[in-house]
Amino acid sequence: MPEPRAAVKRMAPYSPPTGGRDGKLRLDFNENTVGCSPAVVEFIREKVSASGLSVYPEYVEAKAELAAFFRVPEDSLLFTNGTDEAIQVMVNTYIDDDDDVLLLRPSYAMYRFYSEVAGASIREIDYRRDDLSFPLDELLGAIRPETKAILIANPNNPTGTGLDTASICRILDAAPNAAVLIDEAYFEFSGVTVLPQLDGRPNLFVSRTFSKVYGMAAMRFGCLFSQPGNVKFLHKAQSPYSVNTLATLAARAAIRDCDYVNRYVDEVLAARASAYEGLHQLGISTYKSEANFILFEAGERAIPLRDELRNRGVLIRDRSYEIPGCVRVTIGTRAQIERFLAELNSIW
Ligand SMILES: Cc1ncc(COP(=O)(O)O)c(C=O)c1O
């Protein structure tokens, strides 16, 4: 048997519970709970052909359209196979064995995952336990001249808490030698972005995904932005065809139907207000969310509650292994949240 690298042997296996979700109310993965714009499916149907599928992907048209949509120069943009590949490419470009990487805890699991695969020396800063707000002073204090990367989700998953632009700029100033990723997977719900800061910030990397508000998690399409001098190196570390043709078609159609996304955001924000109200009426403590999910305190009942809701056809996510007593519910439409609250009411 071949011997795996020591870094891989050290890793804990990571397998999110993605099986058996069909037909259930999926409030567990922060996806769009009603699906992508019908215009996306129509465009793929119209464009897909046997001969088209026989050709390796071409990105010329899509690059121009997406760069215009995001208001960045084309050479500041890299297409990726979801945010996950954006993280992987960044880590592959900048991190060697034992390099110093700063992460927040708890946060999106893939930052740690790819840093571990790379053999990085990882230090984690805890979100503040009282309100799960961002530990800005603690992070600034932890940055060293040799820090090679800092990976931050804004808003953060699973806490839902966000960071303002001025604070991000302080981190960028304090870590001039580090590649700083601001993962804006939930940007559409928070409205906070540092994408316009790219110009003057050579250590800034921003990622966006089409897996969340756009309802295209199955397509695996994301974008990674940075200054052209950085993107040149990211390109070198990426497989040339990792984003497939159907995903590229889907993204082009999705950005043409902004109304669909805007309407969905409005619906989720209204549903989030109802969810807070319903949870508070039951005496349940919650954390302030800038995204399409809420983390709440279920105490000892976290896992039984998740299981009982699952038996009733409603999926939520246990997070008690990283924040004791906490579970996370994705916010969908008002009708879906009504159903969630009704089921919760009957078992709480
Ligand atoms: C902060 C954050 N980034 C990225 C992702 C995943 O994005 P993608 O599907 O684009 O790989 C998630 C998914 O849960 C997330 O919470």
The per-residue pLDDT for range 292-307, each reduced to its tens digit, is 999 999 999 999 999 9
Shortest-distance Cα residue to atom 6 of ligand 1: 83
For ligand 1, whether the C-beta of 84 sits within 6 Å is yes
- One-letter identity of residue 29: F
Q: What is the CA radius of gyration of the chain?
A: 20
Q: Give the sign of the dihedral formed by CA 20, CA 264, CA 211, CA 165.
A: negative
Return d(Cα 257, Cα 293) in angstroms, integer: 23
Band of pLDDT at residue 13, cut at 50, 70 and 90: confident
Strand duo 293-297 + 222-225: pairing: unpaired
Cα 282 to averaged position of ligand 1 atoms, centre (Å): 30
Q: Of 336, 36, 72, whose CA–CA distance to 212 is shortest?
A: 36
Cβ–ligand 1 distance for 160 under 6 Å, the answer no
The Cα-based distances of 104 to 101, 107, 157, 333 in angstroms read: 10, 6, 11, 30
- Render pLDDT for 25-55 as a digit per residue (tens, 0 to 9): 999 999 999 999 999 999 999 999 999 999 9
Helices (H), the chain: 6-10, 38-47, 50-53, 60-70, 82-94, 109-117, 136-142, 165-174, 187-190, 228-236, 245-256, 258-281, 302-311, 334-347
User: β-strand 100-105 against 222-225: which pairing, if any?
Assistant: unpaired
- Contact 154 CB / ligand 1 (< 6 Å): no
Rounded to 5°, the CA angle 225-239-86 comes to 30
Minimal-distance CA residue to ligand 1 atom 3: 185
- In short, whether 82's Cβ falls inside 6 Å of ligand 1 is yes
Protein residue with least CA distance to atom 7, ligand 1: 83
C-alpha–C-alpha distance, residues 251 and 221, integer Å: 7
pLDDT tens, position by position, 138-161 = 999 999 999 999 999 999 999 999
Q: What is the pLDDT at residue 277?
A: 98
